[in-house]
């Protein structure tokens, strides 16, 4: 299982970069970046057909980060995948940087779509899927949504449309970390039951452990086999995953770690201690 | 004079454009019979997407299609395309500078009997405020057809404002619309009326009537609200020294505001703005509403006479 160890190691390095870059920026969203590390790592390093040397390759698979506040995760993955140099990660949120606080497709190669306003990414993924079908291109579209994001009505407009147009090349990951800004999603305004809702909207739904690479990859393999309807993968995750003092903490949604906290986090994310 | 609604001209032009350009796709929100995208839908069913009554998702889907090289025309009523989906247009189309053409019909109060909920009088203001957005308000059927083709050639987001009511055809087929260029329909010495949409027709009539009173009044068709033809505005100010704007839209944020901004910064002269004066519309026939809200030949004339007193 060499590939699995490679993915675990990538995830660990990406987590380190997320913590480091948000710390350096002095602002940003660690919790929701850390909860989706395995999902995005699996996509960029195992699942998607991409060519970092040719970011506009028409047949590439697409990834839309609908929960755009997890930009540090996307940037770290893109840097590790070779879209740009890792040093640039430290420019996050700085004036003139290509690494805007939320992703900007115009400034950074590899960023498929500008996001940050929640609720809009699935619609964009649908449009990409419709274009792919018209053009007879084989690519697939992956989109990552937050569980709190599901409170946006537009998500359900898009869910309805994806099923209506039988967009089986669309796969939506739901980062089910149970938290949003003001508290647990069940207390703020519950979008539950999430799986049942997507199923009722005509989707195939798979529920997995969102930190288990085997399950993530297995679910995508299954989604690829499903014809005539889109697939939602509800990924059970831990907000802040990998950094003990951030895990399950609402308070770490949108707060940057101070230098000593970055240090503690990096110690925890040292190599050789198993999974980060 | 022959009449045709600009939405009708839009529907026909889309079919023509669709035959020439494979990249063109059309999205509508359960209003294809009204926006006239039904013509395109009939000829190119596989390139037409009815997105149902869900305008926000419609805009996001159009953005995704544009990301893959399509040229999406996204249609609904002006109020829903720019109002309901404003933030989608902003964040998923204008900010990423995607090649989506928002072609919205039923703008202004000539919607008529449906009343204020359906009469968009602030859409120009909303779209004009967005960076990267081009805003076009064609005056008649000929200019609409030209604008559809120009929008398709233009790389970037465009807002095309269309009307429900039949309006006179002002231009001959050989007219050439250019994005960003105002078109002078009449030369004058005393004042200039700058108008867009149906108000161009009324402005021409007002100018003719005023001529009988011995006043020489020019008329500019400012069909591109953004980027505004600043040069044409300044020239009109310099040559005639007094301007009147006329639009089927609120005087806040539309053509009148755009012209006022240029005058204030570059060439201050007296200005009067004809348009809805910070009010919603209501039910009534288009003719009744135009008269009641001062979007009339008589009111344009009155404003010209008043602005001349300020010279
Ligand atoms: C339309 C919109 N409203 C509000 C916000 C502010 N906001 C940023 S993140 C967030 C909470 C997101 O919660 P969730 O989707 O669960 O994300 P995660 O837990 O994965 O970070 C909110 C409300 C936003 N970005 N967009
Ligand atoms: Mg959450």
Q: pTM of the entire structure?
A: 0.97
Query: In which band, very low, low, confident or very high, does the pLDDT at A272 lie, cut at 50, 70 and 90?
Result: low
Is residue A139 within a helix (H) or strand (E), and if so which, with residue range? none
Residue linked to tokens 């498929």 = A112
Q: Same domain, yes or no, for B256 and B299?
A: yes
Q: Has residue B31 been placed in a domain? A: yes
Atom of ligand 1 nearest to the CA of A120: 1
Range of the domain at B280: 183-310
Q: Same domain, yes or no, for B157 and B34?
A: yes
Over range B196-225, report the average pLDDT: 98
The two three-digit tokens of residue A116, written as one number: 């940050």
Ligand 1 centroid, distance to A101 Cα (angstroms):
14
Q: Which residue of B has its CA nearest to A139?
A: B68
Q: Where are the domains of chain A?
A: 2-268
Q: Has residue B26 been placed in a domain? A: yes
Q: Number of structural domains, chain B?
A: 2
Q: How far apart, in whole angstroms, are the C-alpha atoms of residue A58 and residue B170?
A: 44
User: What per-residue confidence (pLDDT) applies to A1?
Assistant: 73
Contact B92 A120 (CB under 8 A): yes
Q: How far apart, in whole angstroms, are the C-alpha atoms of residue A32 and residue A235?
A: 13
**Pocket around ligand 1 at a 6 A CB cut-off:** A 31-32, 35, 67, 69, 116-119, 146-149, 175, 177, 179-181, 239, 253
Q: Which residues of A74-84 are buried (b: 16+ CB within 10 A; e: fewer)?
A: bbbbbbbbebb
Q: Has residue B155 been placed in a domain? A: yes
> From residue B193, how far is each of B220, B233, B242, B302, B309 by CA, in Å?
6, 10, 9, 12, 15
Q: Has residue B87 been placed in a domain? A: yes
Provide the mean pLDDT of chain B. 98
Show which of B168, B191, B222 is a domain's final residue: B168
pLDDT of B34-70, one tens digit each?
999 999 999 999 999 999 999 999 999 999 999 999 9
Q: Same domain, yes or no, for B149 and B208?
A: no
The answer for B 167-226 residues in CB contact with A (under 8 A) is: none
Decide: A173 and A145 in contact? Cβ < 8 Å. yes
pLDDT > 70? residue A119: yes
* Three-state SS annotation for chain B: CCEEEHHHHHHHHHHHHHHHCCCEEEEECCCHHHHCCHHHHHHCHHHEEECCCCHHHHHHHHHHHHHCCCEEEEEEEHHHHHHHCHHHHHHHHHCCCCCCEEEEECECHHHCCCCHHHCECCHHHHHHCCCCCEEECCCCHHHHHHHHHHHHHCCCCEEEECCCCEEECCCCCCCCCCCCCCEEEECCCCEEEEECCCHHHHHHHHHHHHHHCCCCEEEEECCEEECCCHHHHHHHHHHHCCEEEEEEEECCCCHHHHHHHHHHHHCCCCEEEEEECCCCCCCCCHHHHHHHCCCCHHHHHHHHHHHHHHC
User: What per-residue confidence (pLDDT) applies to A275?
Assistant: 43
Contact A114 B91 (CB under 8 A): yes
Give helix A259-268 / helix A2-25 axis angle, nearest 10°. Answer: 170
Q: Same domain, yes or no, for B152 and B31?
A: yes
Query: Phi then psi for A175, rounded to 5 degrees?
Result: -80, 90
In chain B, residues with a C-beta closer than 8 Å to the C-beta of A112 are 67
Q: Which residue of B has its CA nearest to A102?
A: B91
Strand partners for B273: B245
pLDDT > 80? residue A271: no
Contact B70 A131 (CB under 8 A): yes
Q: Is A95 helix (H, G, I), strand (E, B) or coil?
A: coil
Show which of B168, B195, B229 is a domain's final residue: B168
User: What per-residue confidence (pLDDT) applies to B1?
Assistant: 78
Q: Same domain, yes or no, for B135 and B216?
A: no
Q: Has residue B176 been placed in a domain? A: no
User: What per-residue confidence (pLDDT) applies to B70?
Assistant: 98
ipTM of the complex: 0.95
Closest residue to B64, CB basis, from A106, A127, A154: A127
Active centre residues of B (catalytic): 55
Q: Has residue B177 been placed in a domain? A: no
The two three-digit tokens of residue B115, written as one number: 């009343």
**Exposed, middle or buried: residue B191 (CB in 10 Å: 0-12, 13-18, 19+)?**
buried
Closest residue to B65, CB basis, from A104, A130, A154: A130
Q: Has residue B9 been placed in a domain? A: yes
CB neighbours of A163 closer than 8 A, spacing ≥ 6? A201, A202, A203, A229, A230
Q: How far apart, in whole angstroms, are the C-alpha atoms of residue B21 and residue B15?
A: 10
Q: How far apart, in whole angstroms, are the C-alpha atoms of residue B295 and residue B109?
A: 10
Closest residue to B96, CB basis, from A114, A127, A157: A114
Is residue A237 within a helix (H) or strand (E), and if so which, with residue range? none
Q: Same domain, yes or no, for B100 and B217?
A: no
Show which of B104, B139, B168 is a domain's final residue: B168
- Interface probe with B: pick from A55, A59, A102, A124, most Cβ of B within 10 Å: A124
pLDDT of B250-263, one tens digit each?
999 999 999 999 99
Residue linked to tokens 């008649």 = B140
Interface membership of B22 toward A (CB under 8 Å): no
For the domain that residue B299 is a member of, what is the CATH number? 3.40.50.920
Q: Same domain, yes or no, for B268 and B136?
A: no
Ligand 2 centroid, distance to B257 Cα (angstroms):
43
Distance from CA of B46 to the nearest CA of A (A): 8
Q: How far apart, in whole angstroms, are the C-alpha atoms of residue B276 and residue B68?
A: 40
CB neighbours of B196 closer than 8 A, spacing ≥ 6? B137, B139, B221, B222, B223, B225, B246, B247, B255
Over range B137-145, report the average pLDDT: 98
Q: How far apart, in whole angstroms, are the C-alpha atoms of residue B245 and residue B197?
A: 12
Q: Has residue B174 been placed in a domain? A: no
For the domain that residue B39 is a member of, what is the CATH number? 3.40.50.970
Q: Same domain, yes or no, for B87 and B199?
A: no
Contact A126 B60 (CB under 8 A): yes
User: What per-residue confidence (pLDDT) applies to A86?
Assistant: 98
Q: Does domain A2-268 have CATH number 3.40.50.970?
A: yes
> From residue B86, how far is each of B29, B89, B115, B129, B253 by CA, in Å?
15, 5, 21, 11, 15
Ligand 1 centroid, distance to B221 Cα (angstroms):
45
Q: Which residue of B has its CA nearest to A60?
A: B68
Over range A175-192, report the average pLDDT: 98
User: What per-residue confidence (pLDDT) applies to A276?
Assistant: 39
């Amino acid at each position: 299982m060499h590939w699995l160890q490679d993915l675990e190691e990538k995830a660990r390095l990406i987590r380190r970069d997320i913590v480091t870059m948000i710390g350096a920026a002095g602002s940003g969203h660690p919790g929701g970046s850390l909860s989706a590390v395995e999902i995005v790592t699996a996509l960029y390093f195992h699942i998607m057909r991409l060519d970092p040397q040719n970011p506009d390759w028409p047949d590439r698979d697409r990834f839309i980060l609908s929960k755009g506040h997890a930009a540090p995760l996307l940037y770290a993955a893109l840097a590790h995948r070779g879209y740009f140099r890792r040093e640039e990660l430290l420019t996050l949120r700085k004036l003139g940087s290509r690494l805007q606080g939320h992703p900007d497709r115009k400034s950074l190669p590899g960023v498929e779509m500008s996001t940050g306003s929640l609720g809009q990414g699935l619609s964009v993924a649908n449009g990409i899927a419709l274009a792919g079908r018209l053009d007879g291109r084989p690519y697939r579209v992956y989109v990552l949504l937050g569980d709190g994001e599901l409170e946006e009505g537009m998500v359900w407009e898009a869910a309805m449309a994806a099923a209506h147009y039988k967009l089986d090349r669309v796969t939506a990951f739901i980062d089910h970390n149970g938290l949003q800004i003001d508290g647990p999603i069940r207390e703020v305004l519950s979008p539950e039951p999430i799986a049942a809702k997507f199923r009722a909207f005509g989707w195939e739904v798979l529920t997995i452990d969102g930190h288990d690479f085997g399950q993530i990859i297995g679910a995508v393999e299954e989604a690829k086999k499903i014809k005539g309807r889109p697939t939602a993968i509800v990924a059970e995750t831990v907000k802040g995953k990998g950094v003990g003092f951030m895990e399950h903490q609402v308070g770490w949604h949108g707060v940057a770690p101070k230098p000593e906290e970055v240090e503690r986090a990096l110690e925890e994310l040292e190599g050789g201690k198993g999974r980060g | 004079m022959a009449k045709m609604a600009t939405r009708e001209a839009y529907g026909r032009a889309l079919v023509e454009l669709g035959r020439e350009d494979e990249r063109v796709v059309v999205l509508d929100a359960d209003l294809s019979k009204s926006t006239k995208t039904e013509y395109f839908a009939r000829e190119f069913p596989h390139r037409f997407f009815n997105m149902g009554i869900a305008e926000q998702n419609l805009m996001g889907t159009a953005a995704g299609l544009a990301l893959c090289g399509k040229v999406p025309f996204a249609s609904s009523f002006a109020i829903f395309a720019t109002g309901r989906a404003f933030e989608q247009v902003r964040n998923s189309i204008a900010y990423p500078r995607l090649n989506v053409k928002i072609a919205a019909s039923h703008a202004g109060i000539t919607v008529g009997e449906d009343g204020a909920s359906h009469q968009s009088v602030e859409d120009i203001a909303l779209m004009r405020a967005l960076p990267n957005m081009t805003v076009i308000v064609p005056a008649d059927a000929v200019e609409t057809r030209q604008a559809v083709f120009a929008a398709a050639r233009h790389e970037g987001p465009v807002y095309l404002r269309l009307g429900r009511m039949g309006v006179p055809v002002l231009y001959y087929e050989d007219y050439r619309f250019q994005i960003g260029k105002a078109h002078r329909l009449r030369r004058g010495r005393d004042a200039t009326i700058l108008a867009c949409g149906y108000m161009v027709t009324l402005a021409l009539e007002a100018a003719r009537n005023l001529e009988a009173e011995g006043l020489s009044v020019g008329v500019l068709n400012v069909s591109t609200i953004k980027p505004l033809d600043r040069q044409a505005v300044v020239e009109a100010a310099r040559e005639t020294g007094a301007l009147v704007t006329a639009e089927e839209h609120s005087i806040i944020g539309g053509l009148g505001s755009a012209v006022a901004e240029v005058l204030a910064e570059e060439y201050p002269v007296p200005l009067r703005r004809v348009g809805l004066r910070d009010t919603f519309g209501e039910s009534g026939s288009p003719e009744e509403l135009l008269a009641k809200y001062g979007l009339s030949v008589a009111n344009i004339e009155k404003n010209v006479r008043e602005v001349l007193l300020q010279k």
